[in-house]
Chain A
Amino acid sequence: MANYAISNSSEVSAQVAVTTTNISLLSMFASTIAPAPLIQLRRGRLYDILVGTNGTPADNAMIWTVQRATAGSTPTFAGMLSSVALALDPADSTPASAVWANSSLETAYTFVATNIPWYVGVNQRASYRWVAAPGSEILWPATSSAGITLRVKSPAYTGTCAVSAMWNE
């Protein structure tokens, strides 16, 4: 099993401003749309989440969630990262999961409204990290287009966020 990491760095694609509705900062899906020759379905395990903001400090509420979703059949939006080497061990191959950062097209996903495996509401000034013990990760099945997204919304904050996630598959 190989470990992978991804962040929504602006060096990858332009960071999306937070709004009052959820936006997906990172998305990981078991998918056959990963670049060849990695077209295979694998079960994923999210084991590390690190979230924070990189805008002007202020007191605003931030709602962070990990939500289960289904990716659209032809997600063509910018920021697909599966072709970028993300393996923590350089000897490992690139991930089989389809991975996106800074999605600006929420309509490309179908969200399961009640299926939120991780939820934290915290002040904009605070940063948060969660690490799972082995065997207690957030899982997604090895079925095509099934996966999870790390989302954020805020009633007042309109800046950008810096998030990182690590998973294995």
Chain B
Amino acid sequence: MRNPQGYAVIVSPDTTVVNFDKFRCEEVRAGTFEADTFTCVHCNRVIHVKARAPIDEFGSMCRNCMKMVCPTCADGPCVPFMKKLEEAEKKAEARRSYGL
């Protein structure tokens, strides 16, 4: 991945099958396995990227915010996770100001 947003390392003494992100299972050989990850800009989910796989296999790119999104968010509207956080914090702040 050209600009990975994270990095995962699995160290296993035996060959093992790993379930990544509930999306795919992959057999990992004994020793050290490394994978790039990205974080979905819409839901904040961490997605492990399969090496040399086309982008459609593990996510998509939002054509509005031009950032990587997970397969679940690929067909959804563009609502960045940071915006959701800010809205949640504003609501909580308003509730506190009302003494609730």
Contacts and interface: CB of A to CB of B under 8 A. Distances in A.
Nearest to B36: A133
Contacts of A59: 14
A167 B10 CA distance: 20
B88 A146 contact: yes
A129 B8 contact: yes
A139 B81 contact: yes
Contacts of A125: 12-14, 16
B6 A127 contact: no
Nearest to A47: B6
Contacts of A141: 85, 88-89, 92
Interface in B48-78: 48
In which size bucket is the chain A interface? Answer: 20 to 34
B44 A122 contact: no
Nearest to B72: A114
A107 B78 CA distance: 34
26 contacts: A41-B92, A43-B85, A63-B19, A115-B43, A116-B45, A117-B46, A120-B18, A120-B19, A120-B20, A120-B48, A121-B18, A123-B14, A123-B17, A125-B14, A125-B16, A126-B13, A126-B16, A127-B12, A128-B8, A128-B11, A132-B39, A136-B37, A138-B44, A138-B46, A141-B89, A142-B92
Interface of B: 4-14, 16-22, 25, 28, 37-39, 43-46, 48, 81-82, 85, 88-89, 91-92
